[in-house]
Chain A
Amino acid sequence: NAGVTQTPKFRVLKTGQSMTLLCAQDMNHEYMYWYRQDPGMGLRLIHYSVGEGTTAKGEVPDGYNVSRLKKQNFLLGLESAAPSQTSVYFCASSSVAVAKNIQYFGAGTRLSVL
């Protein structure tokens, strides 16, 4: 059971570089989320999507963009990376039919911006 898969697992960027983090889920979930976790902090919501073709801002959206072209994929983009975006990024998904509040998480992407 793959569940929620995030790629890549690790990445080092230089300030100003761009990159895209990919999240894929095979559970046919409608909702998908991107969070970041910083040391000593809880997870904070960056962006989320309630369905294919729709996205919305979360608590900390600045500096990030997202796209949900297919139901199973949710992409997080950093157009011009900054050291403040060094963090661990988690993707999650949930089902409206079962319990939309219960989110299932990927293993995370550790990003360092130098």
Chain B
Amino acid sequence: DQQVKQNSPSLSVQEGRISILNCDYTNSMFDYFLWYKKYPAEGPTFLISISSIKDKNEDGRFTVFLNKSAKHLSLHIVPSQPGDSAVYFCAASGWGSQGNLIFGKGTKLSVKP
């Protein structure tokens, strides 16, 4: 049973508009959430993270929102750029997990010029 779910396999957005990628989780013991970006033939690259004690974290064009009651987080990219086209993975870890991450299946974002 998937503990981290990304229900949209793909998303297409126009350049300059907002991209919103969603992630749901089932394990209430998760206390840290991360987003990774992956280009073809490369390893995942860390993008942004959020602790469960916060509900928002911002880094430039990237903002992650966490709704603990709904067990839902989202990544907002504003404005979207063609270079943002990649697969985005949501990941979660729990206290005492020794840093082990549980990954979602990923969402492929395409930003069209």
Contact = CB atoms under 8 A, between A and B. Distances in A.
A108 B45 CA distance: 12
Contacts, number: 62
Q: Which secondary structure dominates where chain B touches chain A?
A: loop
Contacts of A74: none
Interface stretch (B12-20, B58-66, B95-103): B95-103
A61 to B, nearest CB: 12
Contact of A101 (B42, B43, B49): B49
B46 A43 contact: no
A42 B32 contact: no
Interface of A: 4, 31, 33, 35, 40-45, 48, 50, 56, 58, 90, 92, 94, 96, 99-108
A107 B43 contact: yes
B43 A105 contact: yes
B44 interface: yes
A104 B41 contact: no
Contacts of A42: 4, 6, 89, 91, 103-106
Categorize the interface residue count of chain B.
20 to 34
Contacts of A105: 36, 43-45
B99 to A, nearest CB: 4
Given A42-B105, A43-B103, A102 B98 contact: no
A108 B43 contact: yes
Question: Shortest 10 CB-CB distances between A and B: which pairs?
Answer: A105-B43, A42-B103, A100-B99, A43-B103, A42-B105, A101-B32, A105-B44, A107-B43, A101-B93, A94-B99
